[in-house]
């Protein structure tokens, strides 16, 4: 068998393996989604609880489109199914790429994947339990007199998803910092040097992805800064500083230099 034929067969076998793993992921997702379909309305009610808790007595959410009351809970069920099946999805991805990695890459990859998932979920939980009550309370509190706050369920879902992604990605900062240091793209000393710019950038990001109130901006910017610092600490522990090898060369003293010159002169005289 020629080398090109062997390479082609190897490529096809990898494609077949990738197809099989993707099919498994899709099948598991569909099964979990169908299992959650019956509780779609309850899942949306759970997601809407932070907003409903701060509405005035008798306040409620509204649907401005015909099929929104059906589609929005379905989207929430799909999002929940994605989160539930995420560990299995990551396992399939890891099983596909792991054979092509070095041993040290495997040792680093598994903890980073697990930590990234946990940190993303922690970011979502932080937004749901701490940020949403404050943000929604602020929005309802600043409403003018005579204005009833009745949020559309579709717009509410879009806002919640944006906040989940913003805080989930924010909590991934330590993973990004560690990877950049491990790949040699930046040093720990450089990360410490650019700390002031990072703090300013954290507050800029907080101003972009949160409503225009100081509290919610701080609740995104401060964790982003603290997680950046945590990433620096972990990276400093994981990356050992390079130790320059000791040189074998030692400069000669004046006495040794004079003795060497005398030896050379005596050897030259002997040859003559």
Q: Does residue 193 contact residue 246 with C-beta atoms inside 8 Å?
A: no
Q: What DSSP state is assigned to residue 100?
A: G
Q: Does residue 239 contact residue 220 with C-beta atoms inside 8 Å?
A: no
Tell me the average pLDDT of the chain.
83
Segment 185-194 shows an average pLDDT of 88
- Quote the pTM value: 0.78
pLDDT digits (tens, 9 = 90+) for 36-81: 999 999 999 999 999 999 888 777 888 888 889 999 999 999 999 9
Residue 112: strand, helix, or coil: helix
pLDDT digits (tens, 9 = 90+) for 180-189: 888 788 888 8
Residues 6+ apart with CB under 8 A from 32: 81, 84, 85
């Amino acid at each position: 068998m020629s080398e090109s034929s062997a390479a082609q067969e190897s490529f096809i076998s990898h494609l077949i393996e990738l197809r099989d793993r993707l099919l498994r992921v899709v099948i598991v997702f569909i099964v979990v989604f169908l299992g959650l379909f019956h509780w779609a309305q309850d899942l949306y009610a759970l997601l809407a609880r932070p907003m409903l808790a701060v509405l005035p007595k008798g306040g409620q959410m509204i649907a401005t489109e015909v099929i929104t009351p059906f589609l929005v809970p379905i989207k929430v069920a799909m999002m929940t199914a994605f989160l539930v099946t995420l560990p299995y999805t990551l396992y399939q991805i890891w099983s596909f790429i792991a054979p092509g990695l070095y041993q040290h890459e495997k040792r680093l990859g598994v903890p980073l994947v697990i930590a990234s998932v946990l940190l993303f979920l922690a970011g979502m939980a932080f937004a749901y339990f701490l940020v949403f009550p404050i943000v929604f309370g602020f929005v309802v509190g600043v409403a003018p007199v005579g204005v009833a706050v009745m949020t559309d369920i579709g717009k509410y879902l879009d806002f919640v998803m944006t906040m989940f992604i913003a805080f989930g990605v924010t909590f991934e900062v330590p993973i990004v910092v560690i990877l950049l240091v491990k790949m040699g793209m930046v040093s720990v000393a450089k990360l410490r040097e650019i700390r002031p710019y990072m703090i300013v950038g954290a507050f800029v990001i907080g101003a972009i992805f949160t409503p225009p109130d100081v509290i919610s901006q701080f609740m995104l910017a401060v964790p982003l800064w603290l997680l950046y610092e945590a990433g620096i600490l972990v990276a400093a522990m994981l990356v050992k500083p390079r130790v320059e090898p000791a040189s074998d060369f030692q400069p000669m003293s004046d006495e040794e230099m004079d003795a060497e010159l005398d030896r050379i002169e005596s050897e030259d005289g002997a040859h003559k």
